[in-house]
Amino acid sequence: MRIDIITVLPELLESPFQHSILKRAQTKGLVEIHLHPLRDYSTNKHRTVDDYSYGGGAGMVMCIEPIAKCIDKLKSERTYDEIIYMSPDGEMLDQKMSNQLSTLKNIIILCGHYKGVDERVREHLVTREISIGNYVLSGGELAAAVVCDSIIRLLPGVLNDETSALFDSFQDGMIAPPAYTRPADFNGWKVPDVLLSGNEKEIDKWRHEKALERTKQRRPDLL
């Protein structure tokens, strides 16, 4: 998989991709992540990529021209399955969407900034808009990192135990059940006996019941 990220502030994205699972995925050659500073596509000597909004109002708007130039350049080099714009009013990211995106080959992610982008970008250049929640961030960079993390960890070979992602919260429409590790007794707080029994059938049954119970308590909207 290849992910191209168009951003005004590439520095914000350097750290998330240089550690842990995301770095390992790149080292293994399972994903390529390329950051494209939007200012490199500016058409003026000051390298600005924003301007005042027609009709007035507070805040600056990202210009269409540098965005179009960057997307056109990338599309001239390869075919993209999706061109995604990170936006507070886009489709809400969930596990089902991450699963679907992880099957794609090439993705462009455009990070919004300021008061957003020229509406013509949304009308003519992007294929999908995604939000990570009902709140506003200073820019789309952190949201883009969240999307990438949720996708990349699902790629075959990224996790040491490939079955691990199959049992994450939300994969089956429920929250994951409780998990325990050693010691079996800490300060009198004991691990449930069933998990120490070695009876896989009973353990699976217990985990399903606990997942259902926890989902009803914490996220009944999922049921």
Q: Are 114 and 20 contained in the same domain?
A: yes
Last residue of a domain, one of 118, 152, 186: 152
Exposure letters 16-53 (e unless 16+ CB within 10 A, then b): bbeeeebebbbeeeebebebbbbeebbeeeeeebbeee
Question: 3-state secondary structure string, the chain?
Answer: CEEEEEECCCHHHHCHHHCHHHHHHHHCCCCEEEEEEHHHHCCCCCCCCEEECCCCCCCEEECHHHHHHHHHHHHHHCCCCEEEEEEEEEEECCHHHHHHHCCCCEEEEEECECCCECHHHHHHCCCEEEECCCCCCCECHHHHHHHHHHHHCCCCCCCCCCCHHHHCCCCCCCCCCCCCCCCCEECCEECCHHHHCCCHHHHHHHHHHHHHHHHHHHCHHHC
pLDDT tier, 162 (very low <50, low <70, confident <90, very high otherwise)? low
In a domain, 98, yes or no: yes
pLDDT, tens digit, for every residue of 75-84? 999 999 999 9
Are 39 and 85 members of one domain?
yes
Q: Is position 158 within any domain?
A: no
Same domain? For 183 and 145 the reply is no
pLDDT at 164 > cutoff 70: no
Residue 169 pLDDT greater than 90, yes or no: no
Looking at the fold, whether 45 and 127 belong to one and the same domain comes out as: yes
Structural domain ending residue among the three candidates 121, 152, 183? 152
Q: What is the pLDDT of residue 173?
A: 80
User: Which tens digit of pLDDT belongs to each residue from 83-96?
Assistant: 999 999 999 999 99
> For residue 96, what is the domain's CATH number?
3.40.1280.10
Pair (189, 80) in one structural domain? no
Q: Are residues 97 and 200 in the same domain?
A: no
Q: How far apart are CA 38 and CA 104, in angstroms?
A: 24
Q: What CATH number should be reported for the domain holding residue 180? A: 1.10.1270.20
pLDDT band at 102 (very low <50, low <70, confident <90, very high): very high
What total of structural domains would you count in the chain?
2
Residue entry with tokens 């809400």: 92
Render pLDDT for 41-71 as a digit per residue (tens, 0 to 9).
Answer: 998 889 999 999 999 888 899 999 999 999 9
Same domain, 142 and 174: no
Residue 160 lies in a domain: no
Whether residues 64 and 122 share a domain: the answer is: yes
Residue 160 has pLDDT above 90, yes or no: no
Residue 113 placed within a domain: yes
What does pTM read for this prediction?
Answer: 0.87
User: Considering the domain boundaries, does residue 183 fall inside one?
Assistant: yes
66 and 94 part of one domain: yes
Question: For residue 187, how many other CB atoms are within 10 A of its CB?
Answer: 6
Say if residue 4's pLDDT is above 90.
yes
Least confident segment among 49-63, 143-157, 161-175, 201-215: 161-175
Domain span at residue 113?
Answer: 2-152
